[in-house]
Amino acid sequence: MMKIGIMSFAHLHAEAYVQNIKAIPDVEMIGFVDSDESRVEKFGRQFQVSATTDFEKFFAEKPDGVIICSENNAHLPMVEMAIDAGIRNICCEKPLATTLADAQKITALAVKNHVNLMTAFPVRFSAPVMEVKRQLQLGNYGKIYCFQSSNEGRMPAMYRKWFVDKELAGGGSLQDHLVHLTDLFRWITRSEVESVFAQSNQVFHHGEVDVETGGMAMLKFRNGVFASIDCSWSRPDYYPIWGGLSFEVITDRGAIQVDAFKQNLSVYHHETKGLSLVDWGSDSNQGMIDEFAASIRENRQASVSAEDGLRAVEVIQAAYESVASGKVVYL
Amino acid sequence: MKVGIIGTGFMGVTHAAGWAQTPAQICGFCAETTAEAAPLAKQYHSKIYTSIDEMLPEVDVVDLCTPTFLHAEQVEKAARAGKDIICEKPLALDVQTAVEMLAVCQKMGVRLFVAHVVRFFPEYAKAKAIVDSGKIGRPGTIHLRRCNYRPKKTVGNWFLDEQKSGGLLLDLSVHDFDYARWIAGDVKNVFSKKVSSMDPEAPIDYALTILTHENGTLSHITGGWAYPPPNFQTGFDINCDRGNIHWDSAETDPVHVLIRTDQDSPDVGLVGSHLIESPYTTEIKEFYDAIQNHKEARVTSVDGMKAVQIAAAARKSAECGEPVMIDSMKGEAA
């Protein structure tokens, strides 16, 4: 039986991954390790999994793979620790790191130690996105000119405070929400980002946090395709869903409009006295964790790599540079 | 009030219907040929003028529903004749010309109104009122979307001629540049990418523009001639620090017609509104009232000039690949 565990429960996605791991028949969820005692206490009980603050004890379980869900700036030490403990399959939350140097180190460590390192880009496993990508790459929708896109959401401090800590998260909404669509467009166009222009502001939750809460970026790819991304935390806490990810692809034959989180029920209930959107679409996190398990089972690199994570970090860093200089930044 | 309408394309037709709802008298129409002006002249029991010079002595107000490249000359003629002027958007092809047009109107003491009709669409006007009420706070990000299909060949094919229309950014996105300014104030910086700037042979056009307003608000403007006819989608999101407004034409259309037809789509896409009073009529009525009663209209000639300024900066940015400061455009206008 394959064993998968989680390193740190700092990231909210760990809550989903626990269920995703449990849902795979030949995989044993061995629990999680976290240096934070309160999280071990709280989430161990909530998810009924083994939880410890003792990393040695966790590694002694001999996991075949780990999923790193720490604060963004702790990804590198977590990867180092896992590799030192002999782990050769690692799925790491996005963004891969908060600095270019850390992302490069993680990528180099993975290559040097022949580690199957997967960056957690769940949008690649969204059913509607996968179908559109397939049709685009088959040429059925024509030649791609550009993308207009949005990955806006609530400010995540409502789930976890560290998301708005410059040190731990590496920044605000640009750091949090630029990566998914950047990765998606690289994946669809099979081209790398050539230049980035970005602007940010702090209108949403003004005075509550030190990081940027609003941001827009324009990417240009080497093949000439361009893409705008709104990555703002522009959705209020009482928005009926966490946020969303949508894009419009423009081709020589017209347009394809994709809303990856549109498969919802509109639910009104007495408890909230309002509207809640309840997702009934295929679970993209499950698709991603299934792929991670499959890569372990088949002893291969997962379909998303450390390098994919590194490329996205390069774009985020360029976006911050552009915000600072007001100019277009070339990669 | 006696009105003369110049230009009898789809905008001339629309404005005439608006004027018919006011106490003003439509004196007549002027088009490139008398044949083009004849149907409207007949419908409104008015005259056919063979030139603007022939029309000017007989009217108080001139309504210019002509292609953009003709605006400057016609505004100047009307202003020098002392006539108040309604001018279709965009006011001019470039900032310099727009500034000169404003100057001649000021000098001659005539009023100039630029028909930025989007401000008169009730969904846009209501959203503006909500923002102005202050109850949803300050705008952080704004999205304005407007996409339809490439205009078909109209008279002289001027729409598709960048030299005559200014292309997608000046002809279509200018609506939303103006609206963004109306909501969030003056713009400091413009960055734009446009398909036709990257690939002049592309069969469609589509432009994405990021505006940084002086107050820090970020606006994202999507403009496109990219959908197959007769699709026309518009929409906006105004995200503020105390609330959000969302509107999308496709989601709120109260009527969906699913009827087989052999009919061809119209030459130029126009948004259907399903309203008792067309926003174009609301607009003409407000201009009538402003002239008749010496009042301000919700859109001024300066607004029209500044919309041209943003569009010019966007066009420049799309060509050079760099952000363009509006200050630098002021320099060009001076």
Q: Which strand (E) or helix (H) includes residue A228?
A: strand A226-230
Burial of residue B109 (CB within 10 Å: 0-12, 13-18, 19+) is exposed
pLDDT tens per residue across span A298-320: 999 999 999 999 999 999 999 99
Any idea what DSSP says for residue B265?
Answer: P
Note the pLDDT of residue B44. 97
SS3 A264: strand
Of residues A217, A264, A215, the one with CA closest to residue A239? A264
Q: What is the mean pLDDT of chain B?
A: 93
Residue B210 has pLDDT above 90, yes or no: yes
pLDDT tens per residue across span A10-36: 999 999 999 999 999 999 999 999 999
**Cα distance between residue B288 and residue B297, in whole Å:** 9
CB B47 within 8 A of CB B37: no
Inter-axis angle of helices A13-22 and A284-297, nearest 10:
60
Residue B139 has pLDDT above 80, yes or no: yes
CB A152 within 8 A of CB A177: yes
Mean pLDDT for B202-212 is 97
Mean pLDDT for B94-114 is 97
Alpha-carbon A297 to chain mean position = 23
pLDDT tens per residue across span B312-321: 999 999 999 9
**Cα distance between residue A319 and residue A110, in whole Å:** 26
Residue B267 has pLDDT above 90, yes or no: no
Residue B12 has pLDDT above 50, yes or no: yes
pLDDT tens per residue across span B233-259: 999 999 999 999 999 998 887 777 777
Residue B270 has pLDDT above 70, yes or no: no
Note the pLDDT of residue A158. 84
Note the pLDDT of residue B269. 67
Question: Taking the model in full, what pTM does it have?
Answer: 0.91
Residue B260 has pLDDT above 80, yes or no: no
Any idea what DSSP says for residue B192?
Answer: E
Q: What is the mean pLDDT of chain A?
A: 96
N-term to C-term CA, chain B: 35
pLDDT tens per residue across span A50-85: 999 999 999 999 999 999 999 999 999 999 999 999
pLDDT tens per residue across span A234-259: 999 999 889 999 999 999 999 999 99
Note the pLDDT of residue A240. 87
Note the pLDDT of residue B334. 36
Per-domain boundaries in chain A: 2-121+286-304, 123-283+313-330
Domains and CATH numbers, chain B: 2-116 (3.40.50.720), 118-277+301-328 (3.30.360.10)
Q: Which long-range contacts (CB under 8 A, 24 or more apart) does A130-134 make?
A: A132/A249, A132/A256, A132/A258, A133/A187, A133/A188
Residue A182 has pLDDT above 50, yes or no: yes
Superfamily of structural domain A2-121+286-304: NAD(P)-binding Rossmann-like Domain (3.40.50.720)
Q: Which residues pair with A90 in a beta bridge?
A: A66, A117
Residue in chain B nearest A328 by alpha carbon? B322
**Residue A191's CB: how many other CB atoms inside 10 A?**
16
pLDDT band for B331, please (50, 70, 90 cuts): very low
Mean pLDDT for B267-290 is 86
**Cα distance between residue A57 and residue A85, in whole Å:** 11
pLDDT band for B329, please (50, 70, 90 cuts): low
CA distances from A79 to A10, A31, A87 (A): 15, 18, 9
Q: Do the Cβ atoms of A146 and B243 come within 8 Å?
A: no
CB A117 within 8 A of CB A305: yes
Residue in chain B nearest A143 by alpha carbon? B202
pLDDT band for B59, please (50, 70, 90 cuts): very high
In degrees rounded to 5, what are phi and psi of residue A137? -75, -25
pLDDT tens per residue across span A95-125: 999 999 999 999 999 999 999 999 999 999 9
Pull the structure tokens for residue A195. Answer: 């230049």
Residue in chain A nearest B241 by alpha carbon? A204
Type of residue found at A173: S
Mean pLDDT for B28-40 is 96
Q: Do the Cβ atoms of A145 and B244 come within 8 Å?
A: no
**Cα distance between residue B66 and residue B31, in whole Å:** 9
CA distances from A157 to A208, A233, A261, A277, B18 (A): 10, 10, 21, 21, 52
Please count the residue pairs, one from chain A and one from chain B, whose beta carbons lie less than 8 angstroms apart.
112
pLDDT band for B271, please (50, 70, 90 cuts): low
Q: Which residues pair with B190 in a beta bridge?
A: B211, B324
Burial of residue A137 (CB within 10 Å: 0-12, 13-18, 19+) is middle
Of B140, B202, B208, Cβ closest to residue A232: B140
Query: How near does any CA of chain A get to the CA of B29, in Å?
Result: 38
Return all residues near A116 (Cβ < 8 A) that are at least 6 apart.
A65, A88, A89, A90, A110, A295, A296, A300, A301, A302
pLDDT band for B154, please (50, 70, 90 cuts): low
Note the pLDDT of residue A266. 87
Strand order across the beta sheet in which B47-49 lies: B47-49, B25-30, B2-6, B61-64, B84-88, B112-115
**Cα distance between residue B2 and residue B56, in whole Å:** 10
Note the pLDDT of residue A144. 97
Locus of tokens 């940015």: B317
**More confident of the two residues A313 and B273:** A313
pLDDT tens per residue across span A80-98: 999 999 999 999 999 999 9
Q: Tell whether omega for the bond before B90 is within 30 degrees of 0, i.e. cis.
A: yes
The dihedral region occupied by B54, where left means phi > 0, alpha psi between -120 and 50, and beta the remainder, is alpha
Judged by a CB distance cut-off of 8 A, whether residue B249 touches chain A is no
Topology at the third CATH level for domain A123-283+313-330:
Dihydrodipicolinate Reductase; domain 2 (3.30.360)
**Cα distance between residue B100 and residue B82, in whole Å:** 16
SS3 B289: helix
Note the pLDDT of residue B162. 85
Query: Taking CB atoms and an 8 Å cutoff, what residues of chain A touch B199?
Result: 145, 224
pLDDT tens per residue across span A137-173: 999 999 999 999 999 999 998 889 999 999 999 999 9
Q: Which strand (E) or helix (H) includes residue A255?
A: strand A254-259
pLDDT tens per residue across span A187-220: 999 999 999 999 999 999 999 999 999 999 999 9
Burial of residue B8 (CB within 10 Å: 0-12, 13-18, 19+) is buried
CA distances from B140 to B29, B125, B184, B215 (A): 45, 19, 9, 9
CB A141 within 8 A of CB A250: no
| Portion 191-230 of B in contact with A at CB < 8 A | 191, 193, 195, 198-199, 202-204, 206, 208, 210, 212, 216-218, 220, 222, 224, 226-228
Note the pLDDT of residue B161. 83
